[in-house]
């Protein structure tokens, strides 16, 4: 790969990882459970982006599969946790 593109993807990766920090702050500080759930959901979206950037950087298609699995799991997990928060039971 072109060195310029490689450098750009490395910067992208660093910025995306740095963006997790405010979400972690929100997850710890957030006054209610819904704030924390939202922070976790946003972190998972960022993780999908990180997996995609890694796939592009390493030229490794396996990370795309990881992103797919992460998307599916985060959707189910967010729904289950949201239901648990609002109704106090799992199902």
Partner 1 sequence: MVLMSEIFGIAAVAFGLFFSVVGILGLVRMPDVYTRLHASGKVSTLGLFGLLVGTAFFLPDTALKLIALAIFAILTLPVSTHAIAKAAYGHGITPARASRDDLAEGRDMSPSA
DSSP H or E segment with residue 50: helix 33-58
Closest distance of CB 90 from partner 1, Å: 13
* Residue numbers at the binding site for partner 1 (CB under 8 A): 1-2, 4-5, 8-9, 12, 15-16, 19, 22-23, 26, 32-35, 37-39, 41-42, 45-46, 48-49, 52-53, 55-56, 59, 61, 64-65, 67-68, 71-72, 74-75, 78-79, 81-83, 85-87
Long-range contacts of 63-72 (CB under 8 A, 24+ apart): 70/44
- Shortest distance, CB of residue 50 to partner 1, whole angstroms? 9
Cα–Cα dist 77/23, whole Å: 17
């Amino acid at each position: 790969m072109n060195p310029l593109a490689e450098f750009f993807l490395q910067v992208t990766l660093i910025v995306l990882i740095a963006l997790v920090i405010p979400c972690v702050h929100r997850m710890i500080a957030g006054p209610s459970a819904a704030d924390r759930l939202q922070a976790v959901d946003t972190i998972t979206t960022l993780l999908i982006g990180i997996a995609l950037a890694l796939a592009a950087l390493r030229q490794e298609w396996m990370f795309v599969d990881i992103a797919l699995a992460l998307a599916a799991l985060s959707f189910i997990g967010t729904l289950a946790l949201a239901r648990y928060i609002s109704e106090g039971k799992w199902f």
